[in-house]
Amino acid sequence: MKLLSKMLSLPATLALTTSMSVFAQRGAFKTDLGAYMPGPTPALPAPGGKVIDPTFGTEIMRITGSIDANSVMGTAYAYWPTFNENNTKLLAFGITSEIYDFDPINFTLGQSRLIPRPPGGHTSFEDTIWSAMFPNKLFMRSDAKFIALNTDTMTYEVVGDLTSRLPAGSYFAQMSMSRDDDVFAATVKNPDYTDQGWIVWKRSTNTILSYVQTKEINECQVDKSGKFLYVITGNQGYLRDANGNVIYRADGKPETVIESKIVDLSNGSIQELRDGEPDYTPSHHDIGTGTVVGSDNWTNRITFRNLATPRTIRTVFSYGNDWTSASHISMLANDEGWTMVSHYGAVLPNAFNNELTLMATDGTQRVRRFAHHYSAYQDYWSSPRANISRDGKYVAFTSNWGDPSGRRDLFVVRMPAVDGTVTPPMPPTEPPPGPVPPPPSTSDIFVSSTGFSVVGGNRLEKLATPYYASSETKSIAADGSFSFKYNEQGAAYGVSVALDDGVNSTAVTNQGQWMEVRVDGVYALDWATNLASTIKIERAGGVIKVFENSTLRYASTAPSTGAAKFKVALGGDAASIGMGINSAVFSAAATTTPPPAPTPTPPPAPTPAPEPVLTSISASHSSISLGLRKTTSVSCKGLDAQGNQMSSPITYSVLRGAIASIDQSGNLTGRKIGTTSVRCQSGSIIKDIPLTVTR
């Protein structure tokens, strides 16, 4: 999840911010397996109007309506996103598609505008995908090009043109894209509209990762990481011979066809999965980060599996003998611990019929049921095809609102709040080394702030202006730490907190349900998080560490020295007002010179044992390489008067010079290279041995 540039130096990138709602979220999840009939369909509101689901109490907003030229509007599909990265824009799909402004804080609808037709003869808004990095950018395909639309200026740019690298007249369909806007995949069509195969292209290197020409292609989808491609062949059912007879396996069971293929884009290897036993290819699926969740039409369940080991199958939910619903699955949320399932079909008194439901992917078969979609199923276009926002707070779906012959519209439901308690952090198992720091400060922490208001000394809130907000703490001369939480507004996106020592900047940033660490603007790592956690950045002994509660998430390898400050940064628009951090605690180690320790009275010296007479003394190496570990070992040895190696090691060694250091165990640490010497000592005998340090 490599989402932001170096936030402290590139404020324009901070437009990614948004906020979770500060208003009470209506309704509640139902977590049982009872049957909840939809009941009478609520009166259809005007576009921008809302209704309360009588079963779940959640708010549902109608987006499109009579002002739209199309009678069929809604979501494109469960894995093509309706919501942009920060939920401030919605894509309404139709024959002509529109973009709506959306206020995720107040849950209100803004203005709409038509998307201009892109250049090219083969294009569609169906597989349009919002950028994961820029909330105003849409990616799509046109002929054999990948293009992007700036939704503020409504202008297009060509991202990648593969026309000259494919057979003449080739064009793309059914585009997908990795989470970092870098890896693009699509099916490839011939000029006569027949299938040619699939292609995967990496934008940052302008390389084709996979290009396979095959007629056995229905669709393909790259996973969020850009490491795997999931291909649906279009084949289903039993494997048959040339005469149409079912082919049986050696165990007497009928064989089924290859329905899906998984391509490892790092090496081009392909795993094939059969429709039925034992693989049970997932259909009506969606792809996560190296994972796939989909329906198993043979055993009536939803399954989860890793794309690297796809034959290890976990049951997400089993419907047992209830075959009355079909479903679409959305894994667009950053939190992949839950998958979004929209059920549709006959309205019967069975669990989940015509419901929107979250299902846990961990195998516990937990559910969170939160709305009915009120679409009377008549054909594909009246199915809800619901997709979830990246932060998991909103779900978009298509509905004809109970009228099979009526128009289809786009609707959005706001999710209920999740109840639960936060587990307090575990205490550390041992006190940190070094001097005891002064009591942490929770007041007068921030020495300067622009665009932030400081509340109570340990809380920052974004003001209405300016666009870019920043704040700095007191300086630390040596070791120190800064812990904080994201406030109610800041718990959504893009509030960056960094330790900056003037040479390097180590920043931790919240991205929805994810935390990300960047060093000098370069992605280091990320992890799924509980946004109620306490985050701490500390410098101890020159090492910068990031903790989530008591869990160490990151530790630097390059030393950090000298004066440093903790910096908070945030950009954005109206949606970012009020965002920031709270519960901030600043701590710095004492920098005063401790008083000299009293000189103890030495005990009477014991009579020393006779010292061996050494004929030579040497180091174990004359040249060593620190390598990538930056740690190696050096020892000294000596010979007695008879020329035999001493049975006990030489008791003391130290590296002479400033390029590195040796501890009492003989471990050499450091980063520099050069020529120095090792001082070997045994009793009164001392010898300096030349040593060359390389990498």
DSSP readout, 214-279? -S--SEEEE-TTSSEEEEE-S--SB-B-TTSPBPB-TTSPBPB-EEEEEEETTT--EEEEESSTTT
pLDDT of residue 499: 92
Number of H helices, E strands in the chain: 0, 51
| Gap between the Cα atoms of 515 and 486, Å rounded | 11
State CA 587 to chain mean position distance: 30
163 backbone dihedrals φ, ψ, rounded to 5°: -55, -45
Beta strand 394-399 pairing with 452-455 = unpaired
Q: Which two tokens stand for residue 610?
A: 């006779």
| Gap between the Cα atoms of 681 and 614, Å rounded | 11
Give the CA count within 13 Å in the CB-facing half-sphere of 22. Answer: 11
- Three-state secondary structure string covering 173-226: EEEEECCCCCEEEEEEECCCCCEEEEEEEECCCCEEEEEEECCCCCEEEECCCC
Residue with tokens 């540039």: 5
Question: Is residue 658 over pLDDT 70?
Answer: no
Residue in 335, 370, 365 with CA at minimum distance from that of residue 352 = 370
| Gap between the Cα atoms of 492 and 85, Å rounded | 11
Over residues 50-74, mean pLDDT: 85
| Gap between the Cα atoms of 437 and 482, Å rounded | 13
Listing DSSP states for 619-657 in one string gives ES-SEEE-TTTTEEE--EEEE-TTSPBPSS--SEEEEES
Question: Is residue 657 over pLDDT 60?
Answer: no
Residues 6+ apart with CB under 8 A from 251: none
- SS3 label, residue 12: helix
pLDDT of residue 694: 62
| Gap between the Cα atoms of 60 and 50, Å rounded | 5
Residues 6+ apart with CB under 8 A from 431: none
pLDDT of residue 493: 65
Q: Which of 115-119, 188-192, 496-500 reaches the highest mean pLDDT?
A: 188-192
| Gap between the Cα atoms of 530 and 439, Å rounded | 27
pLDDT band of 611, cuts 50, 70, 90 = very low
Residue with tokens 């990496």: 202
pLDDT of residue 637: 73
Specify the DSSP class assigned to residue 300: T
Specify the DSSP class assigned to residue 15: G
**What does the pLDDT look like over 145-172, one tens digit per residue?**
999 999 999 999 999 999 999 999 999 9
| Gap between the Cα atoms of 293 and 593, Å rounded | 60
> b/e map of 226-263 (b: 16 or more CB within 10 Å)?
bbbbbbbbebeeebeeeeeeeeeeeeeeebbbbbbbbb
Q: Which of 234-243, 456-465, 491-500, 673-682 reaches the highest mean pLDDT?
A: 234-243
Q: At residue 345, what is the residue type?
A: G
Task: Tell which wins on pLDDT, 672 or 356.
Answer: 356
Q: Which of 227-236, 501-510, 597-606 has the lowest mean pLDDT?
A: 597-606
- Three-state secondary structure string covering 650-670: CCEEEEECCCEEECCCCEEEE
pLDDT of residue 411: 97
| Gap between the Cα atoms of 486 and 509, Å rounded | 10
**What does the pLDDT look like over 616-636, one tens digit per residue?**
667 666 666 554 434 456 677
Residue with tokens 């990538």: 628
| Gap between the Cα atoms of 124 and 120, Å rounded | 10
| Gap between the Cα atoms of 632 and 662, Å rounded | 9
| Gap between the Cα atoms of 116 and 553, Å rounded | 45
pLDDT of residue 444: 73
| Gap between the Cα atoms of 47 and 61, Å rounded | 8
Residues linked to residue 638 through DSSP beta bridges, in sequence order: 617
| Gap between the Cα atoms of 151 and 113, Å rounded | 9
Listing DSSP states for 110-148 in one string gives EEEEEPPPPSSSSB-STT-EE-SS-TTEEEEEETTEEEE
pLDDT band of 688, cuts 50, 70, 90 = confident
Q: Which two tokens stand for residue 185?
A: 């995949």
| Gap between the Cα atoms of 258 and 592, Å rounded | 72
**What does the pLDDT look like over 224-262, one tens digit per residue?**
999 999 999 999 999 999 999 999 999 989 999 999 999
CB count within 10 Å of CB 434 equals 12
Residue in 561, 663, 589 with CA at minimum distance from that of residue 432 = 589
pLDDT band of 57, cuts 50, 70, 90 = very high
- Tell whether pTM > 0.85: no
Over residues 516-538, mean pLDDT: 83
